[in-house]
Amino acid sequence: MGHKRVVLITGANSGFGLLSSLSLAKRGCQVIAAVRDVKKSNELLDRAKREGTSHLIDVIQLDVTREDHIKEAFLYVESQYGQLNVLVNNAGYSAGGMIEKLEIEEWRKQLDTNLFGVITMTKTFLPLLKNGKGAKIINLGSISGRVGFPGLAPYVTSKFAIGGFSESLRLELLPQNIYVCLIEAGSFQTNIWNKGLESVCSKKNGMNDPFFDSIYQQAKQTAAGAQDPAEVIQLIVKISEAKKPKFRYHAGKGVRLLVLFKSILPWSLVEWLINKRLMKKK
């Protein structure tokens, strides 16, 4: 293995996971690209082949909601590499819809993937992270973990929870020279928003609710104006290479400003501004 840094990335078949796998392989890292369905890893493997990094990308099957998959992945990484320098908890999806219309099972599925998947991955791989000097755990959060948005309650809940989990974990692991970092991203061009919109649209049928319609239209506009994910990929690379990375990183247009506004404005003004934007005439 030499001195290659070993990086494990979940949800590596698309979006941030795919792009960060390719970028870190270009930087000479040994990337373990975890995907829920190996059949969907063709794009990753094809691009790696074209870029000459196939030998640095090891695709494994891993569904973060299945403990047996996570345990098998741990045993594989332990036997093949003996350590882990960077864990990127990227796997996740966005469930949409109004709270009163969402079934409890949809909440459980959302939290099982976005929250408990991250917790289980982190707990399981900690022994290998301790073998990697100055190891990093990079959790993909969201602006939705700082500001609640109507129509996205399950996703928002999962990301608020990831923020709290990451803060506590950071403080617990710092004495062991393991750095936990949270990337709070805005809207970027990844499949998560398209799939989220499909979820919202499926719940739209038969509903005659102007407020819900407005939320749906705002979500479509946000997805249409989503930014290139390069900024987030650069952050993941930067954190993985930093000696002592900070805890919280913001990415995306308007994210820092939105966080600042929520921290200094009274809540009554925050909710007035959100409702005014949602209900304005198109």
pLDDT attached to residue 229:
83
Threshold 0.85, pTM exceeds: yes
10-residue stretch averages of pLDDT, the chain, 282 residues long:
83 95 98 96 97 98 97 98 97 90 95 98 97 93 90 94 98 97 78 53 56 64 64 96 96 85 91 77 45
pLDDT attached to residue 281:
46
pLDDT attached to residue 282:
44
* Residue 179 appears among annotated catalytic residues: no
pLDDT attached to residue 1:
46
Provide the token pair at 38: 């190996």
What is the amino acid identity at position 127? P
pLDDT attached to residue 104:
96
Neighbouring residues of 273: CB distance < 8 A, sequence distance ≥ 6: none
Provide the token pair at 77: 């990484």
CA atoms within 13 A on the CB side of 17: 28
User: What's the rounded Cα separation, in Å, for the pair 228 and 232?
Assistant: 9
> Please, is 1 exposed, middle or buried when counting C-beta atoms within 10 Å of its C-beta (0-12, 13-18, 19+)?
exposed
In 3D space, the residue among 152, 91, 153, 136 whose CA is nearest the CA of residue 249 turns out to be 136
pLDDT attached to residue 261:
87
User: What's the rounded Cα separation, in Å, for the pair 112 and 72?
Assistant: 19
Catalytic residue among 155, 179, 216, 249: 155
pLDDT attached to residue 196:
52
